[in-house]
Amino acid sequence: MKDVNSVHSLEEIQTTINESKLTLLYISRPDCSVCRGLLPQVKELLYEFPSVVSIHVDADEIPEIAGEYSIFTVPVVLVFVEGKEMIRKARFVPIGELRKQLEKVAEFMQ
């Protein structure tokens, strides 16, 4: 599985998003069983997209992330293209659908 970098502040998140062409932000909570089940699938999917920079945030560690990104439930997958949010998936994330959307975005970026 591809490694997903854990970040620990809103500043780290913003810096990563602003410095990367393609960023996948995965937001979860430790007590969320859906989050724990989805993370390995997202990591596996990211192998197909080496150009995507991936970061993982614990919403309990950074509670202000909910307001910053309008998060109402976890898990949340946000994909940013050159700093702008292009894809948002929350709660139940269909991996096949996420793959198709990432393929379109990655293809557009080449």
Can you tell me the distance from the alpha carbon of 69 to that of 43, in angstroms, rounded to the nearest whole number? 22
Please name every residue paired with 85 in a beta bridge, in sequence order, or none if there are none: 80
- Structure confidence at residue 102 (pLDDT): 94
Can you tell me the distance from the alpha carbon of 41 to that of 33, in angstroms, rounded to the nearest whole number? 13
Please name every residue paired with 89 in a beta bridge, in sequence order, or none if there are none: 77
- Structure confidence at residue 95 (pLDDT): 94
Can you tell me the distance from the alpha carbon of 94 to that of 29, in angstroms, rounded to the nearest whole number? 19
The model scores a pTM over 0.85: yes
- Structure confidence at residue 2 (pLDDT): 63
- Structure confidence at residue 28 (pLDDT): 96
- Structure confidence at residue 108 (pLDDT): 81
Name which of 64, 67, 59 is nearest 30 in CA terms: 59
Q: What is the pLDDT along the chain (110 residues), one digit of tens a residue?
A: 567 788 889 999 999 999 999 999 999 999 999 999 999 999 999 999 999 999 999 999 999 999 999 999 999 999 999 999 999 999 989 999 999 999 999 888 76
- Structure confidence at residue 1 (pLDDT): 54
Can you tell me the distance from the alpha carbon of 43 to that of 4, in angstroms, rounded to the nearest whole number? 7
